[in-house]
A and B are shown apart, each in its own frame.
Chain A
């Protein structure tokens, strides 16, 4: 996940919500985002506070720990994605996990997190994830089973042997040509240098 350290980021007007059930952990996150240039990150210790923040403000980024004081971060993200509180329900969410089993990574992804990051989260790592999110072109999916950014990060089409469920899924089969092949002199003409008059 390479990026240019000389690249400029202006987070001064970004509305960022930070949610973590541990006061000291929340304080570290807040200091990190102050350092990034965020003026007033919204601090939430509990699920209730996080929900209130989503209802009260237009947020640009949410960073959520898997452990809130009264619930799990997954629960908040699951609620957020189905809340229909636009545009917040579409905003990027970075989920931070502490003690992490592979099942929790999948749980975070399936709850609708844009990214899952394991602790310890150094500022450089967090900034890399933010910059990745700036270039995130994934579409948003709503369905009875899942709401959140498309979980397919790479657009490589449907699995081999399957038709695909999306209207823009391309088939791996190459169809018959619809126009005649180019003649050799037409191909040569594409490479032949020509003087430009004028």
Chain B
């Protein structure tokens, strides 16, 4: 690698390939993608329960001091749950998982850890995973309200 900065043009090979004759319209491509993703909704959502069960075990092991970086695994699983839940419009679950990511990230980067706050979030994420799309708006709001208050107490600066 040169010590001097170099700035140069590169060929946009993607543009050349995409402009070849044939293919489909943007509208057709987007609709086909939406249809295919919808077809894997059930199997994707089913995996959320497994992930939340895995998170319960990981959190318990971390709490017992069995992991060198206890919040990393919790963060990774919660981040995966957030990605799936948000892709399929499970807004309550995605908010709960996002909040748990905030906690785990805060604790691993210097905030005073609070295991009760982690436990409450893990339970909330697990419950919302099991309820899936069937959770009522009132129940979801009740769970989220509790998580928001816990999060505000342990991470007041964020």
Output the least CB separation between A52 and chain B (Å): 21
Q: How far is the CA of A10 from the CA of B75 in the complex (A)?
A: 38
Which B residues lie within 8 Å of A61 (CB)? 14
Which A residues lie within 8 Å of B1 (CB)? 82, 142, 144, 147
B33 touches A32 (CB 8 A): yes
Which B residues lie within 8 Å of A127 (CB)? 26, 29-30, 33
B123 CB within 8 Å of chain A: no
The digit string for A46-70, where 1 denotes a CB below 8 A from any CB of B, is: 0000000000000011000101000
Main secondary structure of the interface of B (DSSP, over half): helix
Q: Which of A88-102 contact B (CB under 8 A)?
A: 90-92, 98-99, 101
B32 touches A60 (CB 8 A): no
Contact status of A14 and B18, CB under 8 A, knowing A99-B101, A134-B12: yes
A40 CB within 8 Å of chain B: no
A119 touches B15 (CB 8 A): no
B80 touches A67 (CB 8 A): yes
B40 touches A31 (CB 8 A): yes
Across the interface, name the chain B residue whose C-beta is closest to A141.
B7
Q: How far is the CA of A84 from the CA of B38 in the complex (A)?
A: 39
A99 touches B82 (CB 8 A): yes
Most buried by A among B9, B14, B27, B31: B14
B119 CB within 8 Å of chain A: no
Other-chain residue from B14, B39, B47, B102 in contact with A31 (beta carbon distance below 8 A): B39
Q: How far is the CA of A10 from the CA of B7 in the complex (A)?
A: 30
How many residues on chain B are close to A (CB under 8 Å)? 55
B152 CB within 8 Å of chain A: no
A139 touches B7 (CB 8 A): yes
| B residues apposed to A, CB below 8 Å | 1-15, 17-27, 29-37, 39-40, 43-44, 47, 75-76, 78-80, 82-84, 86-87, 94, 98, 101-102, 105
| A residues apposed to B, CB below 8 Å | 3-14, 21-25, 27-28, 31-37, 60-61, 65, 67, 82, 87, 90-92, 98-99, 101, 119-124, 126-127, 130-131, 133-137, 139-144, 147, 150, 165-166
10 closest residue pairs by CB, A with B = A10-B23, A35-B33, A99-B101, A123-B33, A143-B5, A35-B32, A120-B86, A31-B36, A5-B27, A22-B80
